[in-house]
Chain A
């Protein structure tokens, strides 16, 4: 097992091999709709959706090392912004995206600003509370449709072509997932990405090196929130209905699970984590009510044997 994974990681670390793997995978993803059933596409669309959410949370948890138990809140802000603006004010869907980006970034700022002075456990509790507050606000306001949520959100069209089939959304979410990977990669390998890692490894030393740790963490929160917000926008128009129950604590835990399972801070790991998250319950659907139990056991086994996540860690 260990031998196999070293061979694998050595093979993957070659730049040429890596490019060919990526191109093959992209090719498979592109042509999947030609062979897959609608059920398969629905599941895969869900995978791409979770890839984006997990990569967004990965910026906060994986890169900056801040435990966030309320990530669904940002996803909710994006979904509700689009839902309210399109269904109640008749705004064009594409125009709601920048507004949703602004709103989720604000939400990230609001939760981040006052709480980032807290460390690990305390921060986790506050974010958990924040997630619940957002859900409860959505449940109790009239504009958000109260407990029953918003229904009849209009499907978007692009150049007069309406996106109304699962194939269309498959490609939309595939593009979003690829974009999320690209942005994550670029951020990770930049001055800001390094600053996140410094703060994660040793906050005091990072500060002594002239890094403003509060600003750096705030960046992580705001960028992570934007990922969630954009995913939420597209989620709202794909489902055409959203309700507060979509954004429960469970949802935040699920996204966090994808990040931890695959390997925090590693893009391929997080993508695999998102796959596992969506595919396991589908594969074991035949087990009926037992499937979540099996899922839990599989996860425990993974965490016991690979505590750093499925994806191998970088060694030198």
Chain B
């Protein structure tokens, strides 16, 4: 059974249909992509999956449970983490503190524990610290853990976001345009990182991306949407040769003019 299954998903804002009858699935342990022209509704799909938007209809089954109409923090607790299209770091906090936010949902100390510094609380803090340092080490940022996040280079800030998402200990990681704003070298590193996350950590990946080169290189399954509707699905070769996809991206050949 697939890790994520979406059926008949629909979303509309005041009569405007952003997503229509969308159906797709993401297999456990795979790297899948969602692509489509600008304004096709990709980020809206992500926002529906993570609970930020309330879909008008449809079902979303994640890890065998329905997550539709659940609050974002509950969905994260069930094992779905995301990064944002525009960086959403906690700017004035250190890199390590940023990553620690991911561990919040996997720990439980409350105010009493914090005030009394109980043994359990101290043990938990040490665990949080250790796990978050491992996440930072994984993305190669351990050396800058005590820097203020907003003082890092753009590419490094993106990696802080991934480390933060990894710290939530997800089963499925949603990446919203992970390559946006990265240079060529950083993109190559990103491809390596995405594969390492899947191969070494066993985390399923689902991404939205504009950079076709990157999408074709990493994805095992690609879903293409346009105007909120699925127009194609398949592996890289099938998508590159699909006439509907070419039409959506490049426009229709206007042969009837002649």
Separation of A191 and B117 alpha carbons in the complex (Å): 11
What residues on A are CB-neighbors of B34 within 8 Å?
A: none
Chain A contacts of B8 at CB under 8 A?
A: none
Min CB distance, B136 to chain A, in Å?
A: 15
Stretch at the interface among A67-75, A195-203, A269-277: A195-203
Partner of A316, one of B113, B128, B146: B146
Q: In the bound complex, do residue A208 and residue B72 qualify as a contact, i.e. CB atoms below 8 Å apart?
A: yes
Contact A198 B114 (CB under 8 A): no
Interface residue? B148 (CB, 8 A): yes
The answer to whether B168 has its CB under 8 Å from any CB of chain A is yes
Contact with A along B93-132 (1 / 0, CB 8 A): 1100100111011110111011111000100110010000
Q: CB-CB contacts of A205-243 with B at 8 A, as 1s and 0s?
A: 111111111000001000100000000000000000000
Is B33 interfacial (CB 8 A cutoff)?
Answer: no
What residues on B are CB-neighbors of A207 within 8 Å?
Answer: 71-73, 76
The listed residue (B73, B92, B151) touching A210 by CB distance below 8 A is B73
Number of B residues near A (Cβ < 8 Å) is 43
**Given A187-B111, A198-B90, A202-B88, A210-B102 contact (CB < 8 Å):** yes
* Known A-B contacts A206-B101, A209-B101, A210-B73; A192 and B111 likewise in contact (beta carbons under 8 Å): yes
Assembled-state Cα–Cα distance A95/B63 (Å): 51
Highest count of chain A CB atoms <10 Å: which of B97, B100, B113, B114: B114
Which B residues are CB-close (under 8 A) to A168? none
B84 CB-CB contact with A under 8 Å: yes
**Is B77 in the interface zone, CB < 8 Å from A?**
yes
Is there a chain B Cβ closer than 8 Å to A194's Cβ?
Answer: yes
Which B residues are in CB contact (< 8 Å) with A192? 109-111, 114
- List, in ascending order, chain A residues with CB within 8 A of B158's CB: none
Q: Is the CB of A191 within 8 A of B109?
A: yes
Asked if A208 and B82 sit within 8 Å, CB to CB, the answer is yes
Chain A residues with CB under 8 A of B196: none
A191:B88 contact, CB within 8 angstroms: no
B91 at the interface (CB under 8 A from A): yes
CB distance from A315 to the nearest CB of B (A): 8
Selected from B84, B105, B151, the residue in CB contact (under 8 A) with A205 is: B84
Q: Which residues of B contact A197 (CB under 8 A)?
A: 90, 93, 97
B52 at the interface (CB under 8 A from A): yes
120-175 of chain B: CB within 8 A of chain A: 121, 124-125, 128, 146-148, 151, 164, 168
- Asked if B90 and A202 sit within 8 Å, CB to CB, the answer is yes
Residues in B whose Cβ lies below 8 Å from that of A198: 90, 93, 101, 104
A212 vs B108: C-alpha distance when bound (angstroms): 12
Q: Find the B residue at minimum CB distance from A198.
A: B101
Does A183 sit within 8 A of B, measured CB to CB?
yes
Closest-by-CB residue of B relative to A219 is: B111
Contact B50 A211 (CB under 8 A): no
A186-B115, A198-B90, A204-B52 known; A209 vs B107 contact (CB < 8 Å): no
Cα–Cα distance between A207 and B51 once the two chains are bound (Å): 10
- For the complex, give the distance between the alpha carbons of A287 and B162 in Å: 59
- Name the A residues within 8 Å of B73 (CB-CB): 207-213
In this assembly, does B89 line the interface, its C-beta being within 8 Å of a C-beta of chain A? Answer: yes
- Determine how close the nearest CB of chain A comes to the CB of B51; give it in whole angstroms: 8
- Residue pairs across A and B with Cβ atoms less than 8 A apart, 16 shown, are A187-B111, A187-B114, A191-B109, A191-B124, A191-B128, A201-B91, A201-B92, A207-B73, A208-B50, A208-B76, A208-B81, A209-B105, A210-B77, A210-B102, A210-B104, A219-B111
- A-B CB proximity, top 6 nearest: A210-B105, A190-B114, A210-B76, A205-B88, A201-B90, A209-B101
| 8 further A-B pairs in the complex, CB-CB below 8 A; given A210-B104, A316-B148 | A201-B92, A201-B93, A204-B88, A208-B82, A209-B73, A209-B76, A211-B105, A213-B73
Residues of B participating in the A interface, judged by any CB pair closer than 8 Å: 50, 52, 71-73, 76-77, 81-82, 84, 88-94, 97, 100-102, 104-107, 109-111, 113-117, 121, 124-125, 128, 146-148, 151, 164, 168
